[in-house]
Structure 1
């Protein structure tokens, strides 16, 4: 009975790590879906290989000591130690390359552009117009249009940070004096949280931001109006407002 409870508790705890506002295994966009799919494929393959190794180990442990010696050792080494790893790694290379191309989404123009500026220990998001000039600014809250490709132009003002929204895609370093590009799309208006993924000092663990996903028409109207509060139905609407502290600290 105790063993069954322990197993059930372990399953519940393991499953709880596969969801949540900051879980890469609970994707809310195509880039994160591709990453999660690759993770599950690798995890499943690893379990199959582990099971095979344990079966072979068990067979060797229970083998009769007086049995005739195993005569196919060279063949097993060639198949299990050379052919099998080469085939698996080649398949992962093809799959990973194709997934990486889809995740980057650089083969089509983005619908919107957002400038990301990281500093110890907060994020500034500038919503850019067609001419590249900021039309609205928020701090520690990122507003995104649902179902639209967004190009993030990421930089930093002091040390190296890393922009990461696990439910939407991979991470990208924010480096002073350099602008890195990342494409993401939010297909679901669900709670999403981003985090700095590069240790950047004392308050690194608290350098997080919320992502508010709104309909495209609402997003465009909000940006055109220069920002301001979003409708109250959004849990972080009170924080998604025009930055009134200015940009002097970002230079």
Structure 2
């Protein structure tokens, strides 16, 4: 039994280890990402209830058919196939609408920082308006604790801009600009990817987001624009 307990504990540890990491939506580091994770857990709970109730009804119908009366198909279809799933699905829809605004980051903030993100095979270019024409490749510098509006586009094919720990994804479409707002809670490093298959180099089309302390951000951009390395560089992921 001790060996079985250790094996079970190891299995549970491995299972939950998959919920963390640089590209895990279940390890949020911003309000938009937390809304995504919350909705995921709600949907998981709802689907688990439907699965458990349906399984229990089927087991009862198989082992104790008389419990549903002479014709078990009618209550099974009515309750297991219509009423219970409908109630849970309606609740999930309301939860999705309630969390929707938080997921897209429409906070009404007047302290918005705007950054342009341009995808091309197979890299990302980030431009910082008002920073002397500064542009960085595959490394995005942002201030922690401040909402950022990204203007996302592409020069060739459709890409998808996604920082899993900070929020949802948005497509980068040639000739069109989409916007998404993200916020990093604390300074640190966060992984970003292209989430739309775009060709043979898709798997290496990754980028790094470096969230600096808000009070140091302007100095960081100034040093980058001057071709110097920033003095303040966060360490590993928070």
Q: TM-score, normalised by structure 1?
A: 0.83
Q: Distance in 2 between matches of 1:179 and 1:71?
A: 58
Q: 1:68 to 1:166 in 2, by over 3 A?
A: closer
Check the 8 A contact 1:135/1:226 in 2, yes or no: no
1:155 aligns with 2:156: no
TM-superposed CA distance for 1:73, in Å, is 4.6
Q: Distance in 2 between matches of 1:67 and 1:95?
A: 35
The runs of 5 or more residues in structure 2 that have no matched partner are none
Q: 1:67 to 1:125 in 2, by over 3 A?
A: closer
TM-superposed CA distance for 1:223, in Å, is 2.6
Counterpart in 1 of 2:197? 199
Q: 1:226 to 1:7 in 2, by over 3 A?
A: closer
- Residue-by-residue CA offset, 1:33-57 (whole Å, 9 max, x unaligned): 0000010111122222222222223
**1:1-251 mapped onto 2 (5 Å cutoff):** 4=5, 6-63=7-64, 69-70=69-70, 73-108=73-108, 109=110, 111-129=112-130, 135-225=133-223, 227=225, 228-231=228-231, 233-235=233-235
TM-superposed CA distance for 1:6, in Å, is 4.7
* Secondary structure at the counterpart of residue 124 of structure 2: strand
The runs of 5 or more residues in structure 1 that have no matched partner are 237-251
* Secondary structure at the counterpart of residue 234 of structure 1: coil
* Secondary structure at the counterpart of residue 175 of structure 2: coil
Q: Is 160-169 or 77-86 further displaced after alignment?
A: 77-86
TM-superposed CA distance for 1:94, in Å, is 1.6
Q: 1:61 to 1:97 in 2, by over 3 A?
A: same
More helix by share: 2
TM-superposed CA distance for 1:217, in Å, is 1.8
Q: Distance in 2 between matches of 1:67 and 1:41?
A: 32
* Secondary structure at the counterpart of residue 128 of structure 2: strand
* Secondary structure at the counterpart of residue 166 of structure 1: coil
